[in-house]
Amino acid sequence: MEKEKTIMDYDTVSLDDEDSAVVIIDQTLLPGRTELIRLKTAEEIWNAIYLLKVRGAPAIGVTAAFGIYLLAKACREENYDRFLAEFRNNKEYLDSSRPTAVNLSWALNRMERVVTENADCPVPQIVSLLKREAEEIRDEDIRVCRKIGEYGLTLVKKGDGILTHCNAGQLATVRYGTATAPIYLGQERGYGFHVYADETRPLLQGARLTAFELLSSGVDVTLICDNMASTVMKNGWVNAVFVGCDRVAANGDTANKIGTSGVAILAAHYGIPFYVCAPTSTIDLSTPTGDKIRIEERKPEEVSEMWYRERMAPEGIKIFNPAFDVTDHSLITGIVTEYGVLRAPFEEAFRKLPGKRD
């Protein structure tokens, strides 16, 4: 009998070049419905990122890379300067869809370099090079996440309890996830982890996405409300915390989904190691400290109405809805990258990374 398809058998993001479409899973419909949608125009790509149909720092980087390639392919301009001007317009537009995750501008800048470094080539050749670069960004993400998984696995032992926040899973990347990569590799190797997934108010990425993908993979996962993390830690059920991140500042301060800094403070209180899993593409040395990271603020309805049958807050109430917070570097035990586990002082550790020296 054919094995039943699970969410893990779908690509989070892929390119259908023949149909000139970026294909994504519409994550706003999960876990109830798995539906693929095809993004063709700049507006469709922008909206999919803004509305979190595709989300998670690496996944939005890959979507933007495929997207800008398709927009460059659709540009009928043979003149290099006019091609570059249109490319830059599209780049700026896509880059404005979400501000906090650096992978979005990182991927778009990488694509732009292909255009500027090949200014002598005919435009159709530049377009082919753009396709190759976007595919390399996707393939690199798979390799990097697997490496993060290997290094992360050295930090835990068989039977450990692991707590994670939001979704830094396969649905946030191309494969494996970042924070979930050690869990998936451990699962393949019989580590028997017990995972606690914070539901992650207000958009429930932990409940709708992390719990869903881990359960589909056969991982022993327990869903908790965000305000239960202290209890499971106090009970001694958590040996390590693994979270993802959207931008790491030069001093090691880390922006991730709102609520992450609270988890880090709890972990420090209970003496539990707190690990941030980060592809080095997420380390942004041009941002000196976490207070310089721009934090996205989202609509109040996400707090007062979304997911509820009826509004659950009085009309007219003031609502503050930041999508991310910054965890102070002093609370981070280690940053797990594709090159190994970095320890404080992070500034120094970052400077030793390939590509970060200058």
What residue ranges bind ligand MRU (CB under 6 A)? 52, 55-58, 101, 166, 168, 172-173, 177-178, 205, 244-246, 256-257, 323
Residue 56 vs 182, nearer CB to ligand MRU: 56
274-283 in b/e form (b: 16+ CB < 10 A) is bbbbbbbbbb
Catalytic residue among 246, 253, 284, 325: 246
Residue 245 vs 263, nearer CB to ligand MRU: 245
Amino acid in the structure at residue 149: G
Q: Decide the pairing of beta strands 194-198 and 161-164.
A: parallel
CA distance 279 to 148: 8
CA-nearest of 174, 58, 80 to 127 is 80
CB-closest chain residue to ligand MRU:
244
Residue 58 vs 290, nearer CB to ligand MRU: 58
Are 164 and 130 spatial neighbours (Cβ–Cβ below 8 Å)?
no
User: Quick one: angle between helices 80-95 and 102-117, nearest 10?
Assistant: 180
Q: How far is the CB of 24 from ligand MRU (least distance, A)?
A: 13
Segments in the chain forming alpha helices (H): 42-50, 57-74, 80-95, 102-117, 123-153, 181-188, 205, 211-216, 229-234, 260-270, 301-304, 346-351
Residue 220 annotated to the active site: no
Q: How far is the CB of 45 from ligand MRU (least distance, A)?
A: 15
Question: DSSP assignment of 172-188, as one string?
Answer: GSSSS-STTHHHHHHHH
Residue 99 vs 123, nearer CB to ligand MRU: 99
CA distance 37 to 45: 11
Which residues belong to the active site?
Answer: 246
